Structure 1
Amino acid sequence: MSRYADYADNGEIFCIVEGDPEVIDVSGLIEVGEGVSDETHYIDVAQAIYFARRRHTFDTSHSIDGLTVTFSHLPKGTTVQVQGHEMLTDGDDSIEFDVPGTYAVELQHHQYLDETVEVTVE
């Protein structure tokens, strides 16, 4: 029994399919190993031969100035979600809050493990 990843053009894995390549249609899929999952891996489409790669951890920092939180060094294309609002980043991005408090900021990118950062603004 073989394992295959179904993935988007950017390398994000949609799902893992198991089966016999003689029985299932594997066109457009890539064979992956036992430990590969859509939560922990992506397909590296930047190489001549595509292969599964383990997701990285975010290497970013943030600073707080009053009601503004600024994130530094977010990978381009990171989705930032706060209280149901979503934005797409291009590197260094700021979030301005209207009310002081503690907020959960969710970071998502297909090449990185999802992360939630708790920030307190005053």
Structure 2
Amino acid sequence: MSRYADYADNGEIFCIVEGDPGVIDVSRLIEVGEGVSDETHYIDMSQAIYFARKRHTFDTSHSIDGLTVMFSHLPKGTTVRIQGQEMLTDGDDSIEFDVPGTYAVGLEHFQYMDEVVEVTVE
């Protein structure tokens, strides 16, 4: 039995399906190995032949100035989640908080492992 990834136009994996060609329609699927999952991989579409690639870890930094947190080097299209609200980034972004405190900032991008950064603003 073979394993296949079903993926979006940007390479994000929706799910992994198992079956044999002829039994399932594999025309829009990519064959993947045993260790590939939608949580740890994406489909690299930068070459003529698409293949599953392991998600990267975020290589970003942040600084704090009062109630403002500045993130640098976030990949374009990263979703930033804070207390149920979200925004899409375009690289270097700042978040201004209304109230001092410690906040969990979630970072999500289909080519990167999800990460939560704890920040304290005063």
For the criterion TM > 0.5, the same-fold answer is yes
Aligned to 1:32: 32
Q: Output the TM-score relative to the length of structure 1.
A: 0.99
What is the CA distance between 1:20 and its match in structure 2? 1.0
- Residue type of the alignment partner of 1:55: R
- My pick for the range that moved more, 17-26 or 102-111, is 17-26
Secondary structure at 2:87's aligned position in 1? strand
The unaligned stretches of length 5 or more in structure 1 are none
* CA offset digits 1:22-56 (Å, max 9, x no partner): 21111111000000000000000111100000000
Query: Does 1:104 find its partner at 2:109?
Result: no
Once residues 13 and 83 of structure 2 are traced to their aligned partners in structure 1, the CA distance between those partners, rounded to angstroms, is 26
Given the two structures, how large is their TM-score scaled by the length of structure 2? 0.99
Task: Please give the residue correspondences for 1:84-99 in structure 2 after superposition, counting only pairs within 5 Å.
Answer: 84-99=84-99
| Percent identity for Structure 1 against Structure 2 | 89
Cα offsets for 1:39-86 (capped at 9, x unmatched): 000000111100000000000000000000000000000000000111
- For structure 2, the 5+ residue unaligned runs are none
Aligned counterparts of 1:62 and 1:21: Cα–Cα separation in 2: 48
Count of residue correspondences: 122
Q: Post-superposition shift, 1:21?
A: 1.1
4+ residue runs over 6 A deviation: none
Q: Output the CA distance in 2 between the equivalents of 1:9 and 1:38.
A: 15
Cross-structure match for 1:72: 72
Partner in structure 2 of residue 61 of structure 1: 61
